[in-house]
Amino acid sequence: MRTPLVAGNWKMNKTVAEARELVSKLNVPMREIANVEKVLCPPFTSLPALSAMLAGSDIGLGAQNMHWEEKGAFTGEIAPGMVKEFCRYVIIGHSERRAYFGEMDANVNRKLHAALKFDLIPIVCVGETLDQYESGLTSEVVRRQISLGLADTDPAFATRLVVAYEPVWAIGTGKASSGENANTVLAQIIRPALSDLFGMEIAQSIRILYGGSVTASNASEFFTQSEIDGALVGGASLKADEFIGITKAAAQ
Ligand code: PGA
């Protein structure tokens, strides 16, 4: 059995004061939802404050990105050891990093290895753009992102991995994939690609999330699918009621 996981990716939103305010609304209701792993990924600047607020709760923190090197002359970057001070999770290879900051599969792979070395739980994002989707390239693109992004991962660590399938055309557009379509990609493309790398038994234990315009009202459509083990939530994670609703749906 794979424990469902719901992660909120706040992206570049919220000052420390705003982050505290949101967490003060989430903290108690989220604690009451059992059998779901809950993760908040605020901007780096809010991590210290939120880690203090969430001490002793079962809500984990994640970073939205990190560098793979342990330290050195990399102006503006955050090292894995710095992330580890506050977080259990790290999002790697989000499509916005790929599209706006030139992140390639090779760097996704370096970050993944750094995350595993530092005992972080990596949430590796994959997904095709609208053009690729319309050209029938979903399978090719997603398979490549998995085989290159996850290359050379020790199978002993692979069970810790989380993969998020986020079709780029569904992110922030309000046009979510259908649950059925997302489930088909997971069943026919992602789980088999994981099996090629790690074998079927390990592939079956790896959690795969769906991301892209998930809301409290459409969440159950995804969570009732056999292959979907949770969600990576952007816009709706900025609203307490929405995120609580999504987390409750994952618990059912
Ligand atoms: P969205 O973003 O929920 O706003 O579509 C999802 C994501 O980028 O992870």
User: Which of 252, 249, 251, 246 has its CA nearest to residue 40?
Assistant: 246
Nearest by Cα to 88 from 108, 50, 118: 118
Mean pLDDT in order along the chain per 10 residues (252 residues): 96 98 97 97 98 96 98 98 98 97 97 98 97 97 98 95 97 94 98 97 97 97 98 98 98 93
Whether 166 is a known active-site residue: answer: yes
Contact call for residues 43 and 78 (beta carbons, < 8 A): no
How far is the C-alpha of 132 from the C-alpha of 45, rounded, in Å? 35
The identity of residue 68, as a single letter, is W
User: Which atom of ligand 1 lies at the shortest distance from residue 233's CA?
Assistant: 3
Radius of gyration from C-alpha coordinates of the chain: 17
Q: Measured between alpha carbons, how far is residue 212 from residues 39, 156, 188, 236 in Å? A: 17, 30, 19, 10
Contact 5, 230 (CB under 8 A): yes
Count other Cβ atoms within 10 Å, centred on residue 75: 4
Closest residue by Cα to residue 129 from 103, 90, 98: 98
Pocket test for ligand 1, best of 89, 208, 214, 237 (most atoms within 8 A of CB): 214
From 232, 242, 246, 247, give the residue whose CB has the most ligand 1 atoms within 8 Å, as the site to mutate: 232
Among protein residues, the one with the nearest Cα to ligand 1's atom 1 is 234
pTM tops 0.95: yes
| Cα separations in angstroms, 130 against 69, 127, 159 | 33, 10, 30
pLDDT digits (tens, 9 = 90+) for 60-112: 999 999 999 999 999 999 999 999 999 999 999 999 999 999 999 999 999 99
> pLDDT of 139-151, one tens digit each?
999 999 999 999 9
Choosing from 37, 103, 128, 166, the catalytic residue is 166
Ligand 1 lining (C-beta closer than 6 Å):
9, 166, 171-172, 211-214, 232-236
